[in-house]
């Protein structure tokens, strides 16, 4: 076994594909999402799925403790779960959407990273970021601001913890629920299959994490 990884939001999209790739590479994988069909799904010896909401600190604490109990101490964390609203010009957008972007993409991810750093055997933390965190796009301001702020947290963590790898990886535009929520008129033919994007993300992680 390569060790244990936690991948947030593994029920669909990029997260689901990453879970599959890690399992095929002989990792033990723990994942969770709000809609996970079972409260706890343990497939010995290597897979744990949990119903949990990253916005709730008690859920994050449970994910960490159950992962350690059933799969061993994780050494890799992939912050994949994310939230977006329909792409809207800032002047027209409901301010509560900024609250939700910040809650999920910044605060919850930061607490998840803190708990991983405090309680696990941290070797690498990977943040799935976005090109809109790099430079602004009309309509994507709230989401982009939350992603960019999380990248800033990652850069700071990197300066504070030299023994741990901190990677922000942009998977590119993908044909997923999230993209369709933000831009329902997008032509799916112009969006990458999440399985293809996941392989690129996985290979990048594999370059950085020791076997």
Give the interface with ligand NAP as residue ranges (CB under 6 A).
9-15, 32-35, 53-55, 80-83, 104, 128, 130, 171, 173-174, 176-179, 194
Structural tokens at position 134: 């790099």
Pick from 81, 155, 88, 76: which is nearest to 122 by CA?
A: 76
Which residue number, 38 or 211, has a Cβ lying nearer to ligand NAP? 38
Q: Which is nearer to ligand NAP, 157 or 163 (CB)?
A: 157
**N-terminal to C-terminal alpha carbon distance within the chain:** 9
Least distance to ligand NAP from the beta carbon of 33, Å? 3
- Taking CB atoms within 8 Å and a gap of at least 24, the contacts of 10-14 are 10/49, 10/80, 11/35, 11/36, 12/176, 12/177, 13/174, 13/176, 13/177, 13/178, 13/194, 14/80, 14/128, 14/171, 14/174, 14/176, 14/194, 14/197, 14/198, 14/201
Nearer to ligand NAP, 4 or 109 (CB): 109
Q: Which is nearer to ligand NAP, 163 or 184 (CB)?
A: 184
Residue closer to ligand NAP by CB (options 46, 85) is 85
Minimum Å gap between C-beta 139 and ligand NAP is 14
Residue 127 C-alpha from the chain's centroid: 6
Residue 150 Cβ vs ligand NAP, minimum distance, rounded to whole Å: 9
**CB of residue 35 to ligand NAP, shortest distance in Å:** 3
* Least distance CB 140 / ligand NAP (angstroms): 10
């Amino acid at each position: 076994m390569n060790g244990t990884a936690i991948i947030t939001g593994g029920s669909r999209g990029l997260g689901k594909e990453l879970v599959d790739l890690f399992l095929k590479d002989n990792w033990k994988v723990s994942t969770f999402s709000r809609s996970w069909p079972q409260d706890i799904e343990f497939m010995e010896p290597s897979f744990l799925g949990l119903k949990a909401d990253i916005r709730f600190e008690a859920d994050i604490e449970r994910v960490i403790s159950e992962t350690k109990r059933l799969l061993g101490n994780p050494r890799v964390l992939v912050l994949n779960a994310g939230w977006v609203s329909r792409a809207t010009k800032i002047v027209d957008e409901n301010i509560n959407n900024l609250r939700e972007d910040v809650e999920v993409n910044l605060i919850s991810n930061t607490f998840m990273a803190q708990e991983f750093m405090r309680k696990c055997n941290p070797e690498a933390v990977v943040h799935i970021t976005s090109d809109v965190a790099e430079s602004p796009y009309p309509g994507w301001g709230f989401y982009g601001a939350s992603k960019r702020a999380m990248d800033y947290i990652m850069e700071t963590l990197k300066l504070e913890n030299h023994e741990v790898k901190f990677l922000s990886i942009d998977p590119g535009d993908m044909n997923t629920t999230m993209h369709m929520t933000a831009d329902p008129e997008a032509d799916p033919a112009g969006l990458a299959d999440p399985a293809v994007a996941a392989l690129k993300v996985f290979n990048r992680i594999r370059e950085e994490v020791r076997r």
